[in-house]
Amino acid sequence: MKRFSGDISLVLGGAAGQGVQTVEALLVQVLKREGYNVFASKEYMSRIRGGSNSTEIRITDTKRRAFVKRIDLLFAMDKGVIPHLKDRISERTLVFGEKEKVGTLANHEIYDVPFTRFANELGNPIFTSTVAVGIALGVLGADLEAFETYLREHFERKGEEIVKKNIEAAQKGYTFGKHLAYDEGIEVHIKREKKVSEELLMEGSEALGLGTLAGGCNYISSYPMSPGTVLLNYLAAHGKPFGVVVDQAEDEIAAINQGLGAGYAGARAVVTTSGGGFSLMTEGVSLAGMIETPIVIHIGQRPGPATGLPTRTEQGDLNLALYAGHGEFPRVILAPGTHQETFSLARHAFYLADKYQIPVFILMDQYLIDSIVSFPKDDLTVKLVEHFIVETKEDYRRYEITKDGISPRGIPGHGTGLVCVDSDEHDESAHITESASVRLLMHEKRLRKSIGITDEALLPTEIGNLKDAETLIVAWGSNRGVLEEALELSGNTAVAGLHFHQVYPLPEKAKKSFKGKKIVVLENNASGQFANVLRLEYGIKVTESILKYDGDPFSVEEVVEKIKALV
Amino acid sequence: MPANTDMAWCPGCGNFPILNIIKMALSELDIPPEEVVMCSGIGQAAKTPQYLRVHYFNGLHGRALPPAIAIKNSNPSLTVIAESGDGDTYGEGGNHFLHTIRRNPNITNIVHNNMVYGLTKGQASPTSEKGMKTPVQVDGVVLEPFNPVATAITLGATFVGRVFSGDILQAKEIVKQAILHKGYALVDVFQPCIVFNKQNTYQWFKENTYYLDETHEKGNRSKALDIAFNMEKMALGVIYQAAEKPSYETLVRAGAEPLYKTPLDTGALSQLIEGYSK
C-alpha cells in the first residue's frame, strides 16, 4: 500500500554540507505557502562536514508539533542515511535516492531519483537542493507554482539566469516526481487551507528572538555555544533597528557580568548559552541576586555532563538553573512548550526581571530551538514595554527597605541621586556592612520579593479533561506537543495532561489539580528533575516517571505506548 | 564621605593617597559625581568607590571591567572608571583585561599594584617579584611577574601610564590625562602594602623607579616597549600614548542615547513578525 492520508512524515537525510537544511527550509516554506500544516524537527552531528544528519517534516491535516519516529517518505542524499535511520525505516517507508549513492536495503525497494544528475545536466551541482524539493513536491502531489514564486523572489538579486536555471531545476524534479508517483501508485492526501498559507512560519529560535525584542531587550553579551548561540545570531542579524548592542564576550563570565552592568545602567539585557557555558555564569546569577539587577538568561539545553552531546536535546539543566549561584535569593524559571509560548515567555521574562530586579531563566532545548512550525499571526501580539525605573532624587537609596521587598530602581545619570550597588552585604545606600541587624533586614527584603513573584506565577495548561481523569501526566517545556498528540491518539479519558511553562516557582492555585490523581511526570532527563520540583513546591509524590535521556526528543509513538502501559 | 565612615584600610595603607588622587583628579576636571560611575571588583583596592561620592558598581572578584564596558555602552555620556587591585585585574580578571584592551572602550582603568595579595593575607600576586617568600610561595615565587604595561601596549592600548602612590601630584596629573583620553586608558599605580609586602616598600619604590622626562617620545611604540620591559629600573609617567582610535561604544551602537530611554519600536517589530508570513 502506497497511500498516505492526513498525516505524513517526510524525512531528508544526508551528510553535513550536502544541503539537507537548505532543502528543509525550502520545502517547509513552500508547503506552508500552499496551505499545508507543517512541523519540522532535526537532528544533526557535531561536525561541519560529513556524518549523517536528518530532518523530519510532518505534513498534516490538523496542526501537530511533535516528532514521530515513523518515516513515510525518506529522501536519502548519501550512503550514510539508511544505516543511520534503519530503526525508523519500516516496510511502509518509501525510500528515494540516487542508486549509486545510497546503497541498498535488504528486501526494500529504493526509488532511483537523480538529484545530482539533473543538477549536473543543468550545469552545476548547486541545483541539487532545488531538484530535490521539486521531486518531493511532485511525489507529494503539491503544486509547483508556490515554489517557482519563491525561487523568483529568492534569487532575483542574483540575476535572471540563476532564476531561470533554478526554475528549470524545480520543473525537472517536479515532473520526475509526478511521473514516479503515478508509475508507482504513490498517493498522498493532505488537506490544504488558505488560512494556513497566511500564517507565520518560524523556528523556535526565531520565536525566541522576536520575544526577546518584544520584551524590550537592547543588550546582549554572550559567548557562542550550541544550541544557545541562535539568540546571539538572531539579535546580531535583526537587532540593529531596535538599538540592540551586541557583544561577543571573551567568556561566559564576562558575558553575564556585562549583562549586569548593562542592566544597572538601565538597559534590558539578556545572555544566551547552554549548560556548560552557564556553569561559568553562575557567579553572576548570585551577583544579580545580591545587587538586585535584572538579567534574563536563556539556556539552550543539550545533554551533559561536560561537553556531552553538543547537538542533541535534553531537559537536564532544570536543577542547574534552580540551584545556580551561592546564597539565597529569588528567581524565576520559564520553559516554553510551543513557539507562541516561546515568544510570550521571552517577553514576560524581561517584565519579571525588571519588576522584581531578579534573574529570570528561559529554558529551551535543541529540539524546540530547531523545530519549525506555522501558527496564526494573531498568536503574537506586540505591545509597549512596561518599565520599572525611577528618576532619582538627591537622597536616593538604592536598597530602600519596602513592604514588598522591591526597592525603587534608579539608573545612573537619570536624576540627581547616586546609584550604588555592592556585592558585599550592604545597607540601604549600598555601603558595605557587617551589621547582623542590617543583614537580616536586607536578606529578608530580598527574599520578600518571592511573595509577589509566586502570586504572579503562570498557571499550567490543561490538556484533555482533568476533572474526570484518574491519571495526570505532567510535562514541562518542549514536551507539550508530544503529550498533546499522544493523549489525543490514545483516546483514553481516564488520562489527562498538565503542562507547566513556568517551572519555578509554581503557582499555589495549580496544586489542587493534583488531588486524588495518579501522577506521572514526562521529562527528557534521567533523574526526574521536575518531579523533584513538584515534591519541593507542592509536597506531591509522583507515582511514576516517563524519562528519556538518549539525546533524542520523545516520539509520539513511544509516549502513546507509555500511556497504554500505564492504564 | 560621611565623617563616621568606617574605613576598611590599614593605617598607612597606600590606598589612602590613591583615594585622594582620584578625588583631586575628578574635582579638578570638574566632573560632577552624578556623571561618574566607578566599577570595582573585590579586594582592598576595590573598596575605593565606597569612600567616594560617585555612582558605583562594586561587583565580583576580577570582574570590574565587563560591567564597565557595558555601562559605557549603555550610556556613553557617563565617565566610567574601573578600579581594582593587581590580583583582581591581572589574575582573576586576566582574560577581561586582555579583551577589554582589544575592545578599546572609552574608560579609565586604575590598578592598585602592590605586588601582593592583601585581603587574603599575603600570598603572591601576578606582579610579585621572583623569589618573594609568602605563606603559599614558601620557597619564594617561581613565576615570572606579569608585565601589565608591556601587555597593554602590545594589545593596542592607546594610553598606558604608571604612577607611584607616594607622589600624589604627579599621579593625579596622569590620572587626569587618562580620564580625558578617548579610549581605554590604563594607569598602573605602584603602591606599598605595609602589612604583607616587606620587600616593595616606600623606600624600594623610590629607589627602583624614575620619572620619564619631556624627551620621552610617548608615541613611539617600540621605545615604549623597551621602557616597559625594563624591570630593573621602572619608569613613571605616561609610557605610551598613541593617536586615539574609535572607541568600542561608538562601534557597537549608533548614537549615544542612554539605552533606558530608547522605547521599543512596535511598528518595526510588527513588520519583522509580518515577514514570517511570507
A413-466 pLDDT, tens digit per residue, is 999 999 999 999 999 999 999 999 999 999 999 999 999 999 999 999 999 999
CA-based R_g, chain A, Å: 26
- pLDDT(B5) > 90: no
Spatial distance between the Cα atoms of A16 and A46, rounded to a whole number of angstroms: 9
Supply the pLDDT for residue A525: 98
A303 and A551 in contact (C-beta within 8 Å)?
yes
Residue A272 pLDDT more than 70? yes
3-state secondary structure of B162: strand
pLDDT tens, position by position, A134-189: 999 999 999 999 999 999 998 999 999 999 999 999 999 999 999 999 999 999 99
pLDDT tier at A5, thresholds 50, 70, 90: very high
Question: Which residues, at least 6 apart from B203, have a Cβ–Cβ distance to it below 8 Å?
Answer: none
Check pLDDT > 90 for residue A18: no
pLDDT for A17 equals 83
Mean pLDDT of the A201-212 span: 98
pLDDT digits (tens, 9 = 90+) for B24-81: 999 999 999 999 999 999 999 999 999 999 999 999 999 999 999 999 999 999 999 9
Q: What is the ipTM of this complex?
A: 0.97
For B5, other C-beta atoms within 10 Å of its C-beta total 10
- H helix or E strand, kind and range, residue A20: helix A20-33
Band (pLDDT 50/70/90 cuts) for residue A567 is confident
φ/ψ (deg, to 5) at A281 = -85, -5
Interface test with B, best of A150, A423, A434, A435 (most B CBs within 10 A): A423
Q: How remote is the C-alpha of B28 from its chain's centroid?
A: 19
| Bridge partners of residue B161, in order along the sequence | B187, B238
Is A227 in contact with A367 (CB distance < 8 Å)? no
Contact present, B84 and B127 (Cβ < 8 Å): no
Residue whose C-alpha cell is 593617597: B17
The whole-angstrom separation of Cα A346 and Cα A417 is 32
B111-144 residues labelled b (16+ CB within 10 A) or e (exposed):
bbbbbbbbbeebbbbbbbbeebebeebeeebeee
Q: Which amino acid is at B122?
A: G
The predicted-structure confidence for B135-191, as pLDDT tens digits, reads as follows: 999 999 999 999 999 999 999 999 999 999 999 999 999 999 999 999 999 999 999
In SS3 terms, B90-130 reads as HHHCHHHHHHHHHHCCCCEEEEEECCCCCCCCCCCCCCCCC
Say what percent of chain B tops pLDDT 70: 99
Q: Does residue B3 carry a pLDDT above 70? A: no
Entry field: residues in chain B: 278
Angle between helix axes A436-455 and A339-356 (nearest 10 degrees) is 150
In this complex, do B74 and A245 lie within 8 Å of one another by their Cβ atoms? yes
Surface of A (170-199) touching B: CB under 8 A: 198-199
Q: Do A384 and B37 touch (CB under 8 A)?
A: no
Task: Tally the residues of chain A.
Answer: 567
For strand B159-164 and strand B185-190, is the pairing parallel, antiparallel, or unpaired? parallel
Q: What is the mean pLDDT of residues A78-93?
A: 94
Question: Chain A partners of B1 at a C-beta cutoff of 8 Å?
Answer: none
Partners of A502 in the β-ladder? A334
Q: Is the pLDDT of residue A1 over 80?
A: no
- The reply to whether B213 touches chain A by the CB within 8 Å rule is no
Could you give the CA distance from residue B278 to residue B272 in angstroms, rounded to a whole number?
A: 11
Q: What angle do CA A44, A47, A53 make, to 5 degrees?
A: 25
Could you tell me which residues come within 8 angstroms of residue B137 by beta carbon, excluding any fewer than 6 positions away? Answer: B123, B124, B128
Chain segment A285-322, per-residue pLDDT in tens: 999 999 999 999 999 999 999 999 999 999 999 999 99
Alpha-carbon distance A26 to A318, whole Å? Answer: 35
Instruction: For residues B277 and A344, give the distance between their C-alpha atoms in angstroms, rounded to a whole number.
Output: 18
CA distance A19 to chain B (A): 22
Query: Which of A195, A208, A257 is the best substitution to test chain B (most B C-beta atoms within 10 A)?
Result: A257
- Residue A266 neighbours by CB under 8 Å, 6+ apart: A389, A411, A412, A414, B74, B75, B258, B259, B260, B261
A308, A310, A311, A324, A391 from A304: Cα distances, Å: 4, 8, 11, 16, 45
Residues of B in contact with A413 (CB under 8 A): 34-35, 55, 75, 77-78, 258
CA distances to B112, B215, B234, B236 from B208, rounded to whole Å, are 17, 20, 6, 10
Nearest to B70 among A210, A265, A382 (CB): A265
Residue A18 cell numbers, joined: 550536502
What single letter denotes the amino acid at residue A48? I
Q: Which of A240, A254, A262 sits opposite B73 (nearest CB)?
A: A262
Q: Is B140 on the interface with A (CB under 8 A)?
A: no
CA distance A154 to chain B (A): 12
CA-to-CA distance for A481 and A479, rounded, in angstroms? 6
- CB burial of residue A145 (10 Å; 0-12, 13-18, 19+): exposed
Q: What is the pLDDT of residues A355-396, one digit of tens each?
A: 999 999 999 999 999 999 999 999 999 999 999 999 999 999
Residue type, B36: V
Q: How many degrees, rounded to 5, is the angle at CA A393 between CA B63 and CA A291?
A: 25
Write the residue in B59, B70, B257 that is nearest to A221 by C-beta. B70
Is the CB of residue A27 less than 8 Å from the CB of residue A56?
Answer: no
Question: Which sign does the torsion angle of CA B5, B6, B8, B12 carry?
Answer: positive
| CA-CA-CA-CA torsion sign (A542, A546, A547, A552) | negative
Report which of B42, B275, B143, B97 is spatially closest to residue A283, judged by C-alpha positions: B42
Q: Which of residues 346-405 of A touch B (CB under 8 A)?
A: 377, 380, 382-385, 387, 389
Q: Tell me which chain B residues have a C-beta less than 8 angstroms from the C-beta of A206.
A: 276
Mutate to test the interface with A, among B60, B98, B99 (most CBs of A within 10 A): B60
- Indicate the residue of B55, B70, B257 with minimum beta-carbon distance to A418: B55
For chain B positions 78-107, those within 8 Å of chain A (CB to CB) are: 78, 95-96, 98-99
Question: In angstroms, what CA-CA distances link A325 with A82, A284, A346?
Answer: 46, 7, 22
Band (B278; pLDDT cuts 50, 70, 90): confident
A421: nearest CA partner in chain B: B57
B95 vs A250, A383, A419: nearest CB: A250
What topology is assigned to B15-275 in CATH? Rossmann fold (3.40.50)
> Would you call B264 an interface residue with chain A, using a CB distance cutoff of 8 Å?
yes
Q: Does residue B31 belong to the interface with chain A, where contact is any CB pair within 8 Å?
A: no
Q: Which residues in chain B have their CB less than 8 angstroms from residue A377's CB? A: 273-274, 277
Residue among B106, B96, B54, B80 at smallest CA distance from B247: B106
pLDDT in tens, B75-118: 999 999 999 999 999 999 999 999 999 999 999 999 999 999 98
The count of other CB atoms within 10 Å of the CB of residue A383 is 10
Cβ contacts of B249-254, under 8 Å, gap ≥ 24: B249/B72, B249/B73, B249/B76, B249/B105, B249/B106, B250/B76, B252/A245, B252/A246, B252/A247, B252/B73, B253/A243, B253/A245, B253/B73, B254/A240, B254/A243
A518's enclosing H/E stretch is strand A518-523
* Measured distance CA(A259)–CA(A283) in Å, rounded: 13
- CA B34 to chain A, closest CA, distance in angstroms equals 6
Chain A residue with Cα closest to B33: A418
Other CB atoms within a 10 A radius of the CB of residue B28 amount to 12
Q: Tell me the three cell numbers of residue A296.
A: 534574563
CA A437 to CA A422: how far, in whole Å?
18
Q: Assess B52–A contact: CB distance below 8 Å, yes or no.
A: no
Q: Which residue of A has its CA nearest to B93?
A: A254
Q: How far apart are CA A419 and CA A408, in angstroms?
A: 11
Which pLDDT value is given to residue B37?
Answer: 98
Question: Max CA-CA distance within chain A?
Answer: 86
Nearest CB partner across the interface for B74, out of A253, A266, A420: A266
Q: What is the DSSP-derived secondary structure letter of residue B39?
A: E
Reported confidence tier of residue B2, pLDDT bands at 50, 70, 90: low
Give the span between the Cα atoms of B47 and B187, in whole angstroms.
17
CB contact under 8 A, A423 and B58: yes
Backbone angles phi, psi at B157, to 5 degrees: -60, 145
Q: Please give the helix or strand (H or E) that residue B55 lies within, else none.
A: strand B55-58
Provide, as residue numbers in chain B, all residues whose Cβ is less than 8 Å from the Cβ of A261.
39, 57, 59, 66-71, 74
Nearest Cα neighbor of A252 from A233, A235, A275 is: A275
Question: Which residue type sits at A313?
Answer: T
Residue A286 DSSP SS3: helix
Res B7: pLDDT: 87
Of A199, A247, A261, the CB nearest to B252: A247
In chain A, residues with a C-beta closer than 8 Å to the C-beta of B26 are none
- Tell me, what's the pLDDT at A475? 98
Q: Which amino acid is at A325?
A: G
* Number of Cβ atoms within 10 Å of the Cβ of A565: 9
Q: Where are the beta strands (DSSP E) in A108-193?
A: 110-112, 187-189
In chain B, the percentage of residues whose pLDDT exceeds 90 is: 93
Q: Which residue of A has its CA nearest to B69?
A: A258
- Rounded to 10 deg, the angle between the A145-155 and A160-184 helix axes is 160
Cis omega (within 30 of 0) for bond into A310? no
- Looking at the complex, report in whole angstroms how far the Cα of residue A269 sits from the nearest Cα belonging to chain B: 10
Of B54, B253, B272, the CB nearest to A245: B253
Check CB contact of A43 with chain B, cutoff 8 Å: no
How far from the centroid of its chain's Cα atoms is residue A177's Cα? 33
Task: State residue A88's pLDDT score.
Answer: 97
Name the band, by pLDDT with cuts 50, 70 and 90, for residue A21.
Answer: confident
Contact A243 B253 (CB under 8 A): yes
Contact call for residues A54 and A97 (beta carbons, < 8 A) = no
What pLDDT score does A456 carry?
97
